């Protein structure tokens, strides 16, 4: 069998962000609306760039330190 390398998706759904952060989707929506988690609108749905999520987390971490 040939192994296939999988690359992580470039954009994440709210549910995927919730899973990554071990939060419920409602909490992710709060982060989007009240804490500035950056999103990209695609019609009626929102996506979060993986890179933007990592940068946003790093910025929050620096504010705490």
Contact 47, 40 (CB under 8 A): yes
Give pLDDT, residue 46: 94
Contact 56, 38 (CB under 8 A): yes
Beta bridge partners, 11, equal: 49
Beta bridge partners, 49, equal: 11
Residue 56 backbone dihedrals phi, psi, to 5 degrees = -65, -40
What is the pTM (predicted TM-score) of this model?
0.85
> What is the full per-residue pLDDT of the chain (65 aa) written as tens digits?
556 778 888 999 999 999 999 999 999 999 999 999 999 999 999 999 999 999 999 999 988 86
Distance CA 61, CA 65 (A): 6
């Amino acid at each position: 069998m040939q192994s296939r390398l999988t690359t992580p998706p470039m954009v994440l759904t709210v549910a995927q962000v919730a899973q990554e952060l071990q939060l419920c989707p409602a909490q992710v929506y709060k982060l989007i609306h009240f804490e500035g988690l950056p999103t990209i609108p695609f019609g009626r749905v929102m996506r979060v760039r993986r890179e933007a999520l990592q940068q946003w987390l790093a910025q929050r971490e620096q504010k705490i330190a």
